[in-house]
Amino acid sequence: MTAVCHSSHAHFARHLLAACTLAVIFGSCATGPRISADTAHSSPWLLSYSQDFSSPDSMEDFSFSDAQIWSWNHADGGALQFREGSSYRPPFRSPTAYALVQGLMFDAFILEAEVQQTGKEYGHRDLCFFFAFESPSKFGYVHLATSPDQNAHNIFTVKEAARAPLAPVSEFGVTWTESWHVVKVQRLQADGPIEVFFDGKLVLSADASDFGRGRVGFGSFDDSGQMRALKIWARN
């Protein structure tokens, strides 16, 4: 893991210090799955970033494809939310809404998040998780959707071309409902596969040996949603 420090990001640095001391505890009175307070990974994993979105200042930790659609939601103890209608037009066919963690890059990592999809139900109803993000034209992303096909519910690569799936079309998608869900995305080796868990069940995996080090984040192809907790571990 590489940490990029900027003096103007003092707030971000405070979150990194809290993360490294495991001082952030996720708590909310809202219903739905929660990342366990005692969630931990043994050596060689180090908690590199942790955010509970309890303050609107948490938005300072992220950069956005279109900041106008992102906001802080005070409900449920705080969440980072986004609406439909992004004005961002990527250089190649790929998601239009993303928030990337600033100042940190990963190759091997474990990411866990509590998320809620707030859009209407349809086949491509989705949320996305981004990894190995080097530029708007070079990154990987996880697309979790209701109905799998060549363009939905898969792990995709964007490499100076429109997004392309990395795994065969799955038999089943995910059931979003109106509840919160826990998503885990892990790449345990820099040259190893990407694995995706939805509420504790492995739902997607693909070879990730072609990806390098990059930023990670959260968003959607063109829907709406929110995230109320995020933890990222890197290899120590």
Would you say residue 235 has pLDDT above 70?
yes
List, in sequence order, every residue forming a beta bridge with 122; answer none if it has no partner.
none
List Cα–Cα distances, 160 to 81, 105, 213, in angstroms: 29, 20, 17
The pTM of this model reads 0.84
pLDDT tens track for 207-233? 999 999 999 999 999 999 999 999 999
Q: Do 211 and 166 touch, CB atoms closer than 8 A?
A: no
Q: How much is the mean pLDDT over the chain? A: 87
**pLDDT at residue 33 in the model:** 58
If you search the block for the tokens 């596969």, which residue do you land on? 193
Question: What span, in angstroms and rounded, lies between the C-alpha atoms of 78 and 55?
Answer: 7
Q: Mean pLDDT, to the nearest integer, of 85-95? A: 97
3-state secondary structure of 67: helix
Q: Which domains does the chain have, with CATH numbers?
A: 2-235 (2.60.120.560)
Q: How many CB atoms sit inside 10 A of residue 43's CB?
A: 7
pLDDT tens track for 175-209? 999 999 999 999 999 999 999 999 999 999 999 99
Q: Which of 81, 17, 14, 7 is nearest to 48 (CA)?
A: 17
Q: Which of 20, 49, 44, 17 is nearest to 229 (CA)?
A: 49
The more confident residue out of 13 and 103 is: 103
**pLDDT at residue 18 in the model:** 41
pLDDT tens track for 119-160? 999 999 999 999 999 999 999 999 999 999 999 999 999 999
**pLDDT at residue 185 in the model:** 98
